[in-house]
Structure 1
């Protein structure tokens, strides 16, 4: 459990509680939260059995609620981006659950359907500070918050963090139609204050990497170009990676090297497949190197790897946008910036910048003066993963 020491968390709980009382004319009895995440480096490597290096954010999704008699769940949200009904009802009988409208409730349904034990009916209200469509994993935050809420509701915490993350990932696959890797749910469950998390997506193991220098912050800049990854782009790139591995007769691109790019060229593989493979193979190596230099507090080398990652995502994986490229360029004009890159699936969303605490305001000022859209900013440090907040 955690106390309500974070004022933003306290405000979210207050907002969720007020919504709950308004919608259900009752008081909630339990609450939980789960964070969004930012990936420092290691993009589109997770579904290729590679490495990723995310950190949990102080931006979180909160759910408050109470059990009710029967087998009906009623859920509501404060999310202002939801243009569908903001309240949904469904049976919690696991074999009857299936994706349907409103879409936002499918993330909740998926977790209920796959929860290790049958749960009784409940009422719940959700609120969040994780921006939707910003590439900071608002979906995983909702899934993990839901799972943690169900643990609190039943007073039966799962002893396996890995199992919890995998169930939430499966919920996103089956109920949101998004074939995501394990990174988002893992870090939302396992985040640790003052640390990034190096995740090996082949065997689902992880290592804490210290990131607690008081002179550093992570600046997330939201381009406010909303991304949508449940369309064709993400599955297409995933298939291109699988096709590259098949041509190379590898289980996955985790087992390939940059020398294999020449093999693909000799095989006259589709140029797009070659580019996708080159990004993934080089990004897996960059992520391992980045974790090592971060342990050594070599922020200059870490920043260089961030920039190389962005360039690869832009040129070889082709998931960046002019807006993201511009934000990276503007950030890197400030001497106190070590590195910057797009983060998340791409096609919009956010950049992540490693910058000295003293210079972060200069970056924000530079972006505000040179970016031709309205950007949003989040100054963050690595935070804890999902927790029960406790009973009211």
Structure 2
């Protein structure tokens, strides 16, 4: 099924209607931040490597107002299984150390509130999002960055984009317990229409790269599966990468070359740790090559690198799953496809496929016919990052 991506104005209206229904008043502030898809550079961000994401037209919208108290009340239109869609909590203070809790979706908001450096007042807020939950397209960062942008308006302050991203990352570390790298918050903050963003996760410098070829479509396919083991497997993979770097006397795998892994083999380090390191080292190199290919408008080369990325994620990092592999295998047999791979942390979620425009319909038909599950398709263009919205 090809999902119609709702306009931001439609999400704002839905959020306004829900806000008025719950709180009996009209919101005065609206903001949004996008999800993202990473063209290449998976599991390299927390290894000080390079990533090449683009912001999606799928966004999280928040609307709200001050409420004259020291209490924050937040509602979401998302239907989160076994969780309330409404939460209240006191602003952090010397006497109140804000902590994560239930419902879990609210921890992304609480984390931003707890780490925000302006002087906050109590507020009411409603969240409405078109970013698929658990799809590997960073719904969590979109909530964090949209919340931060809302708080900037609430306090009449403006943070530097890098500081904003780092605070939102800290929120996810501390309140969601997910030791993510910086990519998701960076691209959600700094994305630009018709551009990808090459991010150096060591220096935190970034470089916008135009995407010029209108014949190329970025097809996002949601497998609509999410395996529960990913919650523990992500931190485990991160620990394996850090262990490999430490054993080689480096602070991260960014400084390691492939031939240096022989030293780990000589130390009888387990094969899983060596495989994780091999993926990261080769993926960092692929990401730089992909950025060059994009600058040179060489989408054939970009597609080849995307294919290699999936193979490495499947075989070396072992974060794919049968459903993602099936989606990738199906499209690689279709005319007009340049490359396809899983995106995100793994164990479910989405794939990205680079395909010529005149072939995209046949590719979707082939997936619908051959894929055992029920896929959802999004045809996406690189979009803008976080921004304040009009309520008119």
TM-score category of the 2 structures, normalised to the smaller one: over 0.9
Q: What is the CA deviation profile of residues 70-108 of structure 1, one whole-angstrom value per residue up to 9, with x for unaligned ones? A: 110110001023431111000112552110111111100
Q: What CA distance in whole angstroms lies between the structure 2 residues aligned with 1:328 and 1:100? A: 37
- What is residue 54 of structure 2 aligned with on the other side? 55
- What is residue 15 of structure 2 aligned with on the other side? 16
Q: What is the CA deviation profile of residues 24-64 of structure 1, one whole-angstrom value per residue up to 9, with x for unaligned ones? A: 01111110000000011000000100000000000000000
Inter-CA distance 71–230: structure 2 relative to 1 (3 Å threshold): farther
Q: What CA distance in whole angstroms lies between the structure 2 residues aligned with 1:216 and 1:83? A: 40
Q: SS in structure 2 opposite 1:127?
A: strand
Q: What CA distance in whole angstroms lies between the structure 1 residues aligned with 2:59 and 2:48? A: 27
- Unpaired segments ≥5 residues, structure 2: none
Q: What is the CA deviation profile of residues 130-160 of structure 1, one whole-angstrom value per residue up to 9, with x for unaligned ones? A: 00000000000000000001112222222x1
- What is residue 97 of structure 2 aligned with on the other side? 96
The 5 Å alignment of 1:118-133 reads: 118-133=119-134
| TM-score, structure 1 as length reference | 0.96
The 5 Å alignment of 1:1-392 reads: 8-94=7-93, 95-158=96-159, 160-228=160-228, 231-392=231-392
Q: What CA distance in whole angstroms lies between the structure 2 residues aligned with 1:228 and 1:360? A: 31
**Once the 2 structures are TM-superposed, how far is the Cα of residue 7 of structure 1 from its aligned partner?**
5.5
**Once the 2 structures are TM-superposed, how far is the Cα of residue 231 of structure 1 from its aligned partner?**
2.4
Q: SS in structure 2 opposite 1:23?
A: helix
Q: SS in structure 2 opposite 1:34?
A: strand
Q: What CA distance in whole angstroms lies between the structure 2 residues aligned with 1:135 and 1:295? A: 26
Q: SS in structure 1 opposite 2:348?
A: coil
**Once the 2 structures are TM-superposed, how far is the Cα of residue 117 of structure 1 from its aligned partner?**
1.2
Q: What CA distance in whole angstroms lies between the structure 2 residues aligned with 1:329 and 1:106? A: 37
Inter-CA distance 67–82: structure 2 relative to 1 (3 Å threshold): farther
* TM superposition outliers: structure 1 runs of 4+ over 3 Å: 227-230
Q: SS in structure 2 opposite 1:338?
A: strand
CA contact (8 A) 1:133 1:227 kept: no
CA contact (8 A) 2:118 2:157 kept: no
Inter-CA distance 107–227: structure 2 relative to 1 (3 Å threshold): farther
**Once the 2 structures are TM-superposed, how far is the Cα of residue 22 of structure 1 from its aligned partner?**
0.8
- Unpaired segments ≥5 residues, structure 1: 1-5
Of 357-366 and 50-59, the range deviating more from structure 2: 357-366
Inter-CA distance 306–230: structure 2 relative to 1 (3 Å threshold): closer
Q: SS in structure 1 opposite 2:300?
A: helix
Q: What CA distance in whole angstroms lies between the structure 2 residues aligned with 1:242 and 1:93? A: 33
CA contact (8 A) 2:118 2:155 kept: no
Q: What is the CA deviation profile of residues 323-352 of structure 1, one whole-angstrom value per residue up to 9, with x for unaligned ones? A: 101101111112211100000000101000
**Once the 2 structures are TM-superposed, how far is the Cα of residue 8 of structure 1 from its aligned partner?**
1.6
**Once the 2 structures are TM-superposed, how far is the Cα of residue 230 of structure 1 from its aligned partner?**
6.7
Q: What is the CA deviation profile of residues 95-125 of structure 1, one whole-angstrom value per residue up to 9, with x for unaligned ones? A: 5211011111110011011011121000010
Inter-CA distance 133–92: structure 2 relative to 1 (3 Å threshold): same
**Once the 2 structures are TM-superposed, how far is the Cα of residue 212 of structure 1 from its aligned partner?**
3.1
Q: What CA distance in whole angstroms lies between the structure 2 residues aligned with 1:229 and 1:314? A: 16
Q: What CA distance in whole angstroms lies between the structure 1 residues aligned with 2:373 and 2:130? A: 21
Q: What CA distance in whole angstroms lies between the structure 2 residues aligned with 1:372 and 1:7? A: 27
CA contact (8 A) 1:93 1:118 kept: no
Backbone CA RMSD of aligned residues: 1.3
Q: SS in structure 2 opposite 1:106?
A: helix
**Once the 2 structures are TM-superposed, how far is the Cα of residue 178 of structure 1 from its aligned partner?**
0.4
| TM-score, structure 2 as length reference | 0.96
